[in-house]
């Protein structure tokens, strides 16, 4: 007999929580639950699905973004590898999954005017801190959501962040974030009684940030992170340092910030000197052409 979906996913979540960050666990279980719901709606079980079912789910039930599809596919892949290891299935369906390529993205920095408007919508100190941690520390929503006052070291101006893959990085603590921290009592910055971890989930924090930013398309917690990346690189074009600040696995991910600074590219092009003879030659030829046609 196939196990109940709810019990199965709870066991899966408990297992991956031992070695993945809370944000990654949230993402993986979110898509696995969606896949299980899709299977139930089609009178099927998640452990009985075939490759064609997974492809139908990805194409029909997951958003059009290739990054979203890739995240959903990765979550299903982790689940089926887990199911095979724990003998819930004899075949690891993930072995048959196709590669989903996503185009290299470009930064989507949140405009300064949008941040100013968001600050006017803030009603709690937590609202302000959500914005500051994205804009001045470059944190992901999942990283921000789990922050505890013990992660901050105001004496040495440092901030400890747990990112993807449960990897920890130590960041310089920006003065404005340090100042904002003084308004918080000891404990989680964004506590929650409904979450067993004691803090809100990254998805919940992301919804709040989207509200503060006015529910404008493409303006979200990640666009604040992109704002940090673009502005930091503009001030100091050190890709390796920015990679470490953002917690990227590879500098190739960080390179999108170097590619897309329109201001810096314009400055480079406009810095080329204008040579008078270029335009004078063009003017002479144009004048001669007009004279012949008169």
Reference 178, options 198, 212, 140, 149; nearest CA is: 149
Q: Is 91 a catalytic residue?
A: no
Q: Is 226 a catalytic residue?
A: no
Q: 48 with 25: CB under 8 angstroms?
A: no
Q: Is 248 a catalytic residue?
A: yes
Question: Which member of 174, 199, 210, 225 is catalytic?
Answer: 225
Reference 146, options 191, 178, 88, 181; nearest CA is: 191
Q: Which residues pair with 188 in a beta bridge?
A: 148
Write the CB contacts of 232 (distance below 8 Å, at least 6 apart in sequence). Answer: 138, 242, 245
Question: Which member of 34, 148, 164, 169 is catalytic?
Answer: 164
Q: 25 with 145: CB under 8 angstroms?
A: no
Count the Cβ atoms, other than its own, within 10 Å of residue 214. 11
The token pair that represents 144 in the structure block? 């921000």
Q: Is 222 a catalytic residue?
A: yes
The token pair that represents 9 in the structure block? 């996913």
What whole-number distance in Å separates Cα of residue 88 and Cα of residue 256? 41
Q: Is 225 a catalytic residue?
A: yes
Question: Which member of 140, 210, 227, 243 is catalytic?
Answer: 140
Question: Which member of 31, 80, 136, 257 is catalytic?
Answer: 257
CA–CA distances in Å: residue 200 to residues 4, 26, 277: 27, 11, 65
In the DSSP assignment, the letter for residue 174 is P
Task: Give the three-class secondary structure for 163.
Answer: coil
Q: Is 164 a catalytic residue?
A: yes
Q: 107 with 263: CB under 8 angstroms?
A: no
Catalytic residues: 140, 164, 222, 225, 248, 257
């Amino acid at each position: 007999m196939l196990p109940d979906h709810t019990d199965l996913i709870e066991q899966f979540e408990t297992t991956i929580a031992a070695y993945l960050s809370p944000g990654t666990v949230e993402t993986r279980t979110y898509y696995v639950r969606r896949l299980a719901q899709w299977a139930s709606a089609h009178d099927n079980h998640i452990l009985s699905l075939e490759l064609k079912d997974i492809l139908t789910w990805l194409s029909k039930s997951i958003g059009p973004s290739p990054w979203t599809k890739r995240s959903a596919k990765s979550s299903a892949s982790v689940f089926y590898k887990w199911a095979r290891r724990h003998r819930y299935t004899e075949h690891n369906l993930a072995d048959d999954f196709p590669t989903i390529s996503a185009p290299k993205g470009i930064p989507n920095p949140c405009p300064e005017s949008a941040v100013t408007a968001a600050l006017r919508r803030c009603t709690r100190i937590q609202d302000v801190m959500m914005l500051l941690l994205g804009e001045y520390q470059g944190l992901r929503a999942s990283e921000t959501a789990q922050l505890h006052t013990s992660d901050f070291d105001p004496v040495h101006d440092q901030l400890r962040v747990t990112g993807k893959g449960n990897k920890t990085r130590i960041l310089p603590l920006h003065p404005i974030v340090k100042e904002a921290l003084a308004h918080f009592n000891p404990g989680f910055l964004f506590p929650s009684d409904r979450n067993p971890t004691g803090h809100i989930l990254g998805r919940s924090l992301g919804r709040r940030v989207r509200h503060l930013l006015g529910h404008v398309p493409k303006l979200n917690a990640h666009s604040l992170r992109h704002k940090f990346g673009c502005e930091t690189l503009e001030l100091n074009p050190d890709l390796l340092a920015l990679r470490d600040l953002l917690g990227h696995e590879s500098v190739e991910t960080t390179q999108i910030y170097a590619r897309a600074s329109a201001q810096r590219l314009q400055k480079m092009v406009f810095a080329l000197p204008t040579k008078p003879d270029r335009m004078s030659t063009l003017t002479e030829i144009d004048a001669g052409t007009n004279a012949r046609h008169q």
